[in-house]
Structures are given as structure tokens and as C-alpha cells.
Structure 1
Amino acid sequence: MTGRASFEELVAEGAAVPTEGWDFSWFEGRATEQRPSWGYAVSAAERLSRARAALDIQTGGGEVLDFALGRATRPPARTAATEGWPPNVAKATALLAPRGTVVVATGEDDPLPFADGAFDLVLSRHPVTPHWREIARVLRPGGTYFAQHVGPASVVEIVEYFLGPQPEEVKQGRDPRRERAGAEAAGLDVVALRAERLRIEFHDIAAVVHFLRKVIWMVPGFTVEAYEPRLRALHERIGRAGPFVAHSTRHLFDARKPER
């Protein structure tokens, strides 16, 4: 950790780190995040071991799917993934092609470019919005949707530090009860739904800058220049009082498409 570095040096470092993909290893020693107890990636590997055809929606840079496929005892005969951000499409393609996985570039709100009933397993880790009818459409009867979603008011402490108090409808926009209702309205049976609130600590301002550049929907339009006074004040606060503490929320969906 670079606690002795100046504000300017730390901000420059956080602003220089590439943001492609969902590899968060750069944060080691700078930020910590408690992980959900269910171990999504390992559980996904177990599901993949039993699947014949699998789809990963909004795969990011493909890191989680790559890990899960590598841990699967018998990977599916066919795997595909979707991603909408061009730098991530390129990264995921390079990472997943050796595993025989096709990465399809598709917008977040576009229909899934696959036939009805094409997959017996659909995965997703942190989808922006789950499009339940499309998920149900591409699942075969008896197929499963297994995913970890971001929950309501996730990391709201850092959002409100920069943007001020947020309306309740914004903070509760990813309520798992509403998502469950959406899944059921699309014809899926929710077998299990678990939720947890998890502690995050930011140990220096470089970690905050990189986080806000990487997770762009937290503070839309974030730039160091626009938020320099708030960043400087937070840097000084961390120096005086220790890590900035926030909390992420996650929920795990296990849903099944009825046989008929």
C-alpha cells in the first residue's frame, strides 16, 4: 500500500490503471471486499459440469466464466457468452476462445441472439438488468438460470459521498423481491434466492478513483477533474480516520424453467 504517497501521485496512479474486464486484482492491498458465502464462481463450475449447453450473459472480460470452465469436471459441449462493451468483447474473446466459447457482441437491451430453448444453463454475474423473458426463452424446459446479482443500495455510501442523498426509488432499484416477481412473470420458478450485505474498505484514494472509473454507473460521468475537491477531502479523511467503509449487496438466483 502507498500510504506515504501524495494526493496527486495516488490520483494519477488510480487514473492510469486500465479498466477493461472484471479482474480486480489491482485492488489488493488498497481495498478489500467481503465475498458472499455461497462462492458463486465455484458453484457455477459445478453447474457447468452438469450442463450440455451453457450461456453466460454480460460476461465482462470473461474472467469468471473462464475460471468456472476451468474448474468444471466436464465442461459443456457448447458454451457461449454475450458482452456489450467493445473492450470487454475483445478481452473475453481472447480469453475464452481457447475453451471453445463463442463471445457474441450484443447490446444490453438487445434480444439474445440465440434460438428458443438453446441452453440448459444460463449464467450471469452482476447483470445490469436481467431480461427475464429473454432468459426464459433461450432456456430449454427444465433448464436453469443461476446468477449473482447486485442488490439494492450497493456501495451507496460512496455514491452519496460524491452525489449527495439518493432517492429511495434509486436506492431500491435492484430489490430482489421485484426481480423475483419479474422472473416468475416470465414463467420461471425461483428455486432459491439468497441475499447478503458485505463490507468494503477503501484504503487509499487511488482505489476510489480506479473503482469509479471501472464501475462507471456508480457516479455517472466521473472524472478526477470534476470531483477533485471531494477526492482531496476524502484523501485527507482516510489519512486521519482510516479506510472509507461501504457495503455491497448481492443476491443469488437459482431459477428453473418448468418442464412444460
Structure 2
Amino acid sequence: MAPVPPNILVVEDDRETRTLIAKYLRNNACNVTTANDGREMSRAMTDHRVDLVILDVMLPGEDGLSLCRKIRGESQVPIIMLTARGEDVDRILGLEMGADDYLAKPFNPRELLARINAVLRRQAAAQTASAVMGATALNFQGWRIDFRLRELRNPAGARVAMTSAEFDLLRAFCERPGRVLSRDSLLDLTQGRNAGSFERSIDVLVSRIRRKIETDPQDSSMIKTVRSGGYLFTPTVEPAAMPVDGAK
């Protein structure tokens, strides 16, 4: 399925700049709505789904910094501020009022697009992480880990026996995919600083988990060892749908 184009709202009073931004973004698979000032911005945000706002600081009437604060009081939609002045005070004020990024004029449209994509990726990652951390069950590469039942099922649906320590460590990995986790942090997340806990115990548990979930435990693709770092859980992790009543 093709990715859904993001809906970008450009709030800029300079017609030439506004037209340039809108044309470039539309040519790069974005849906664009434009506004000249705060009133048009509010109307556009009411009438359209907006995934990101490009907001000029210098606007007629209510300025961009005030509008940024108003948006952030009502929504978590990402905001990239634009200004003709590259002064640090404007950048700092914009970020303090909730802007996600800041770009000074004049700018290269390619850089603006890159920043838009970066902000949208960060937002998507944060939303996924929030959903993952709040889920009672997760899926990864066909596997399902259920925190309520404390069970792991393979892609064929069969339950895989795990010790309590193995399950807790796999849960720590699943809730933090794509992050390098040191042995110390894994100890804190799973065993705490109980007497007898030591870094080597993490290596032993990782080895056991690999034998249960990896196609080739000697050439691990899901739990990567990071030299001088720890371990990295590589699969994409998503909240699992709740099973239909009576399903195994």
C-alpha cells in the first residue's frame, strides 16, 4: 500500500514564499493548504486534517510565536517555525512555545522538506513507542508476546516455554526496539540490583532467548550484539490485536 501523503499547512503572508513552498511540497508528494494569517490558519485547521504546520514568525495581526503557543495549547500537531531573522532569541522562543523545529530564511526548499520528513518520522516513532509501552501484547516478525498471560507464541501460534527471567528480558527488548540497551540498563529493567545480579547473567539469558526465537542463534538477526554497547532488538514491534474470545 502506498504511503499516505502528509497534509501540510503553510502559514506565510509573503505570497511568493508561500507559493514557492506549496509548489515544492506538492511536487514532493505532500498535500498542502495555505494561509495568510492567524485567522485563515484557524479556519484551515478546523476544515482540514493537518499533519504539520509551517509557521512564519512575522505575520500580520497575531504573530507566529503567539500562534505557535495557541496551537500547542490545543494540539500536538508538529510545528516548524520560519523567520526572516536568524536571531537566537526567536529560535529559542519558538522552541520554548512548543515548536518542533526552526528554519531561518532564506532557506533551500530541499532542507525544509528534509526537516518536515524528520519531524514526521520523530512523531510517528513517538506515537509507536507510546502505543508499544501501553500495550498488553505485542507482535514482532510473526511472534506474539502477551504480558497479561506472560506467554510467548511463535508465528505458527504455538506457545514457547520461557523462564520468568527470559520473559522479562524479552519484554524489555520488545518495549524498546531499535535502541542499544547496555547490560546495566537491562539488569535495572529486569532484575534490578538484587544480590547476585551481574552483567554476565544478561548474556546467558540473551543466548537462551536467541535459541528460542532466532532461525540461526549463531547468526542472530533479531537480537544484535553491539560491541562495547550491549544489545539491540531489531524487529519492528507493533501492538497486537486482542484475540477473539475462545481463540487460542
TM range (shorter): under 0.3
Select the structure that is richer in strand.
Answer: 1
TM-score by length of 2: 0.24
Greater RCO structure (CA 8 Å; 6+ sep)? 1
TM-score by length of 1: 0.23
